[in-house]
Structures are given as C-alpha cells and as structure tokens.
Structure 1
C-alpha cells in the first residue's frame, strides 16, 4: 500500500502525519485490499473562517477509486469527519463485493433434483 500525504499552503508536520496514519488504520483494518492512498491537506484563503481547513482523500482499491473531501474550521476535526465518511464508503464498497444474495447455479441444480 502506497501512502502519500501532502499539504497545500500548509506544512505537514510529523504530528499531523501521525494523526492521519492512525486514522487511516481504522479504514485499512476494515478493508485490506487498498492499493494506494493520496491525502491532501489544504488551508484555503477564503473569507469564510469556518470552512478554511480542507482534507481530501483518494483511495485506490481494486476496481474502483473512492474520493472523499471535508472542510472545517479545525483541520483535525476535518480529518475526523473525513475518516468517518471514508469508513462508511469503504464498508459500503466491501458489502457490494461480498453481496451473496444471488442464487448460484450449483444450488439451483441441487434444489431441482430433490
């Protein structure tokens, strides 16, 4: 798994990097088939003070890319909310892959013969 954490108008400190890695651990624990993760942390020069800090993640998994972004006045709160959204999307993607509601041909043959 490749992990890239970058900052735009922001220096990514070791503490910030560690915080993001610890939060991503929850997502990778649910779904281990992650190929690549790109995290971009941004401080925007907007007049709105409440939405200046933005975090976005692009998660590359086999067959799909998952993109999530979140803005907040506090960067750590934006990362927390971002990881909650990402966790929900990863769980939804995992459920789609493991959807076993369809009846297999093997089971249909067994039911017809009995």
Structure 2
C-alpha cells in the first residue's frame, strides 16, 4: 500500500501525520485490498473570518477510486469527519463486492428450489 500525505499552504507535522495514520487504521481494518492512498491537507485563506481547513483523500482500490473531501474550521475535526465518510464508502464498496456473488446451489435449501 502506497501512502502519500501532503499539505497545501500547510506543513505536515509529525503529530499531524501520526493523527492521520491512526484514523486511517480504522479504514484499512475494514478493507485490506487498498492499493494507493493520497491525502491532501489544505488551508484556504479566504478571509480571516472564513479560514477553512480542508482534507481530501483519494483511495485507489482494485477497480475503483474513492474520493472524499471535507472542510471545517479545525483541521483535526475535518480529518475526523473525512475518515467517517471514507469508512462508510469503503464499507459500502466492500458490501457491493461481497453481495455481487450468487449463492451456490450446494448451499441452497431443497425446499427453496
């Protein structure tokens, strides 16, 4: 698994990197077939009142790219909400992969046929 954490108008500190990695463990625990993860942390300086922190993730799994972005005033809150969204999308993708297969005839009930 390739992991890239980068910052735009922001220096990615070791504490911030460690926080992202601990939050990302929850996602990789649900679905381990992740090929590539790109994380972009951004500070948007529109005005002093509307300073927004934005976090984006592009997760490349076999056959699909999952993109999630979240903005908040606090970067840590944006990362928390981002990982919640990403976890839901990864679980949904995993369910789609597992539910796509039909039940084998060997396991079907004799009365249901």
SS at structure 2 position matched to 1:10: coil
Q: Work out whether residues 38 and 58 of structure 1, in 8 Å CA contact, stay in contact via their aligned partners in 2.
A: yes
1:14–1:5 Cα change, 3 Å = same
Query: Following superposition of structure 1 onto structure 2, how do residues 1-114 of structure 1 map, counting pairs within 5 Å?
Result: 1-47=1-47, 49-50=49-50, 52-99=52-99, 102-104=102-104, 106-107=105-106
SS at structure 2 position matched to 1:52: strand
1:58–1:100 Cα change, 3 Å = closer
Would you tell me which structure has more helix in proportion to its own residues? 1
Q: CA deviation at 1:19?
A: 0.3
Q: Structure 2 unaligned runs (5+)?
A: none
CA RMSD of aligned residues (A): 2.4
Q: CA deviation at 1:49?
A: 3.9
Question: Taking structure 2 as the reference length, what is the TM-score of the superposition?
Answer: 0.88
Length, aligned pairs only: 112
Question: Taking structure 1 as the reference length, what is the TM-score of the superposition?
Answer: 0.87
